[in-house]
Amino acid sequence: MTTIRSIGAYEGASVEEAVLDSGAARIAILNYGCVIRDWRVPAPGREVPCVLGFDRFEPYPEHSRSFGIVAGRVANRTANGRFTLDGKSYVLPVNNGPNHLHGGPKGLGKRLWEMAADGNNAVILRYSSPDGEMGYPGNVEFELRFALDDTRLLIEMAGDPDRPTPINLAQHNYYNLNGGGDILGHRLRIAAARYTPVDDVQIPTGEIAAVDGTQLDYRAAARVGAVDAGRIGADHNLLLDEDRDAAAPAAELASDETGLRLRLWTDQPAIQLYTAKPLQVPVPGHGGAVYGPFAGLCLEPQHSPDSLNRPEWPSIVATPDRPYRQRLELEIAPSG
């Protein structure tokens, strides 16, 4: 069933939370940033909080590190906050060193959306983004639908612009299938043999390289702490294999401790892998958890970062005739 209640206030408006509960999983979603605040799954002897987050709304505006948001209008980094579209130059606010990140300091992940139940265990969130918001051209009507069926969550994302404008959304859960500690013992597989190397401010150089011999080689399932034995950390864009079986998960993450496994299906061409090496959160997370380095792992399906400045890469420009659509399926369940 779906329940919606007010859990706080933000900028003078009500913050609402929808809870989807199938019995096999319970997911709490905020109208603030479309945040997945909590995702609980039964495991032997306990119920596991499988994503990083806070027990209350109040810490989110100041202390969240994009926990569970839907990032946009354009997720990931845009170099120097600049791009050109149809011969016109646009300047975006920078909020990550010299770059624009996740739609800017007040991107979609920090806006209040309208939320309504959509039948049993489903919710729809809508947001009207006006022309010029965070520097982007055009008005865009965004609509996201979250639907829980047993252990599987379907997220359908839509953006309908009134003129050409870039859109690249990314769901930004931090997963920890142990419910605490770090993710170095988790086993990860990603159907990606190539990635986009970056410069010293995390902007792609334009090169496309093989993952062989890097801390990004998860073509076969392997423990994160073994692949990244030097604790380099990952915050990189992996290009999903174009010839992969679309019916098979693009990525899988598993915990031996709880026996839980995440499976992810996506129609996007890439996944940003972030292992949260620099993470330091000064307030407690779920159940008093301390979130430090490697406390969670992000698998963010999207188009490649800085695509706006790489015309040789697939375009992220949506138009009235070619509106934005993304379909993401996530399942967390016992691996047996």
| Residue 172 appears among annotated catalytic residues | yes
96 is in an annotated binding site: no
199 is in an annotated binding site: no
User: Is 100 known to sit in a ligand binding site?
Assistant: no
173: annotated binding-site residue?
A: yes
Residue 87 tokens, joined: 């011969």
**77 labeled part of a ligand binding site:** yes
Exactly one of 100, 172, 236, 286 is catalytic; which is it? 172
The verdict on whether residue 274 carries a ligand-binding annotation is no
Bind-site residues for beta-D-galactose = 76-77, 172-174, 235
Active-site residues, by number, are 172, 300
Bind-site residues = 76-77, 172-174, 235
